[in-house]
Amino acid sequence: MPKKRPRTVSFAVVLESLEPVEPDGGPFVLSPAGAGELVDADGCRWKVLRGPLDVRLAKRLVRGADVMIIGEGAGDRLRCVPAEERGAAWAGIKDRIGSDGLPSYRAFQFISADGHQLLYIEQTC
């Protein structure tokens, strides 16, 4: 039976010789909910007030918030929902808030420096 050759280089030495790999997707960017801040298309800066919200509170804010934004793709694409389209948008989202199915959604309440309210609904995949 042939004898195994002894290792000349250990795995640790090979691992140490490798150079770090640059990330492919660019820098990691937090979603507005994760960062706690959102700047809308008009340049208004919003700070997170609370969230994730209960479905009942989110429903109340669909009608009462000054602005409603849906963050599609975990906040990569922000879609402002006009007041006349909020009911239809909410109907497609409400059953998936906090659900285990995909996509699911989480709702957050943001506030501006002048006291306006924003309902931000983030899609999670």
Task: Please tell me the predicted confidence (pLDDT) of residue 61.
Answer: 96
**pTM, 2 dp:** 0.75
Task: Please tell me the predicted confidence (pLDDT) of residue 14.
Answer: 74
Task: Please tell me the predicted confidence (pLDDT) of residue 38.
Answer: 93
Please provide residue 29's backbone torsions phi and psi, each rounded to the nearest 5 degrees. Answer: -120, 130
Task: Please tell me the predicted confidence (pLDDT) of residue 24.
Answer: 61
Task: Please tell me the predicted confidence (pLDDT) of residue 74.
Answer: 80
Task: Please tell me the predicted confidence (pLDDT) of residue 101.
Answer: 80
Task: Please tell me the predicted confidence (pLDDT) of residue 47.
Answer: 97
Q: Which residues of the chain have pLDDT under 50?
A: none
Task: Please tell me the predicted confidence (pLDDT) of residue 25.
Answer: 60
Residue of 64, 60, 69 lying closest to 105 (CA atoms): 69
